[in-house]
Amino acid sequence: MDIHWYPGHMAKTRRIIKENLRLVDVVLEIVDARAPKSTHIPDIHDLIGSKKLLIIMNKADLADEKTTERWVSFFADNGMDSLSVDSRRRVGFKKLNEFAKELSGKIKRPLRGIVVGVPNVGKSSFINQIAGRKGAKTGNKPGITRGKMWLKAGDKFELLDTPGILWPKIEEEAVGLKLAFLGCIKEELLNVEEISLKLIGFLMRRFPETLVNRYGVNSSENPPVILEQIAKNRGFMAAGGKADTFRAAKTLLKEFQEGKLGRISLEEPGEEGGLWQDL
């Protein structure tokens, strides 16, 4: 799977980050807790230089809890600060406030941070919670946030929001797949059915019960047959009585992204290749 996506606003985002680094004390990188490595900006340290980085694993309610705990330990072992949050239910924000209080106490003013991350990891939802704002644009499509905006978050934070950012070419297919599964790449750039078959392949290896319980499929079948079963069991039929596998593929991806298949982590700390090699 070869994905190239680097529109002009992403190059602009990199410029916004670099131009405003001198104004901030910390960089808050939002990643998806289900795939912290794959949604982590690979050249983040080159981009932010010596600025302090805090990795915030958002959507922790959709990831396997024990796996997320291992990621926190992994980042700590590698000298990186991280914490997990659920922005929808405001879980984990107490630790964030403690982090802000500790740093801001040293500088005797509200902590100034810049929020960065790939599309669709929930940056706007995170900012809504921390700033107590209901009016910021949020959505489940990558790239909805535009421009830049400073927000005052009580007496603890002053935040600069930035649009989503991706790198010019995704070299590792496994990374591209996980970004696609999570909705970080625009659907128009993807072969939705192909991506859904890859997701089915992964789930059948690691979490077969999720597909059986959610869609009533036969776990012994191969991914194309399972996708067809999903379509038929959901009543998605196309002209001529054929199963509408495209609609089934879109439904599967959407429901996975929304957590309707359960708490599923896509990667483990230190995992190299493994189950992703043959997908």
Predicted confidence (pLDDT) per residue in 115-169, tens digit = 999 999 999 899 888 877 554 444 455 544 444 567 877 677 888 888 888 877 7
Place of tokens 């980042």: 75
pLDDT band at 273 (very low <50, low <70, confident <90, very high): low
Instruction: Give the gyration radius of the chain's Cα atoms.
Output: 20
Question: In terms of domains, do 157 and 197 share one?
Answer: no
Residue 69: both structure tokens together: 């705990």
Q: Is 222 annotated as a binding residue?
A: no
Query: What is the DSSP track for 94-147?
Result: HHHHHHHHHHHHHHTSPEEEEEE-STTS-HHHHHHHHHT-S-S---SSTT---S
- What's the confidence (pLDDT) of residue 135? 42
Tens digit of pLDDT for each residue in 216-269? Answer: 999 899 999 999 999 999 999 998 889 999 999 999 999 999 999 999 999 999
Question: In terms of domains, do 151 and 216 share one?
Answer: no
Nearest to 272 by CA among 199, 167, 174: 174
More confident residue, 134 or 188: 188
Tens digit of pLDDT for each residue in 80-98? Answer: 999 999 998 889 888 888 8
Q: Is 51 annotated as a binding residue?
A: no
Distance CA 35, CA 131 (A): 25
Q: Does residue 185 fall inside a structural domain?
A: no
For the chain, the domain total comes to 2
Residues near 257 by beta carbon (within 8 Å), at least 6 away in sequence: 140, 181, 182, 183
Question: In terms of domains, do 155 and 48 share one?
Answer: yes
Q: Does residue 14 fall inside a structural domain?
A: yes
Question: In terms of domains, do 198 and 122 share one?
Answer: no
Q: Cα dist. 134→122, 128, 131, 138, 218 in Å? A: 14, 6, 9, 10, 43
Overall average pLDDT of the 199-214 stretch: 95
Asked whether the CA dihedral 74, 33, 261, 224 is positive or negative, the reply is negative
Q: What is the CATH number of the domain that holds 152?
A: 3.40.50.300
pLDDT band at 171 (very low <50, low <70, confident <90, very high): confident
Question: In terms of domains, do 107 and 225 share one?
Answer: no
Q: Does residue 170 fall inside a structural domain?
A: no
Q: Is 124 annotated as a binding residue?
A: yes
Q: Could you tell me the residue range of the domain that residue 216 belongs to?
A: 191-269
pLDDT band at 39 (very low <50, low <70, confident <90, very high): very high
Angle in degrees, CA 56, 60, 64, rounded to 5: 130
Q: Does residue 175 fall inside a structural domain?
A: no
Residue 136: both structure tokens together: 């910021």
pLDDT band at 30 (very low <50, low <70, confident <90, very high): very high
Question: In terms of domains, do 126 and 242 share one?
Answer: no
Overall average pLDDT of the 58-87 stretch: 95
Distance CA 253, CA 193 (A): 10
Q: Is 59 annotated as a binding residue?
A: yes
Question: In terms of domains, do 27 and 139 share one?
Answer: yes
- What's the confidence (pLDDT) of residue 54? 96
Residue 56: both structure tokens together: 């915030």
Q: Cα dist. 169→118, 166, 173, 192 in Å? A: 13, 8, 11, 19
Inform me whether the pLDDT recorded for 173 exceeds 70: yes
Q: What is the CATH number of the domain that holds 255?
A: 1.10.1580.10
Average pLDDT score over the chain: 86
- What's the confidence (pLDDT) of residue 137? 45
pLDDT above 90 coverage of the chain, percent: 57
Q: Is 121 annotated as a binding residue?
A: yes
More confident residue, 102 or 215: 215
Question: In terms of domains, do 84 and 143 share one?
Answer: yes
- What's the confidence (pLDDT) of residue 154? 67
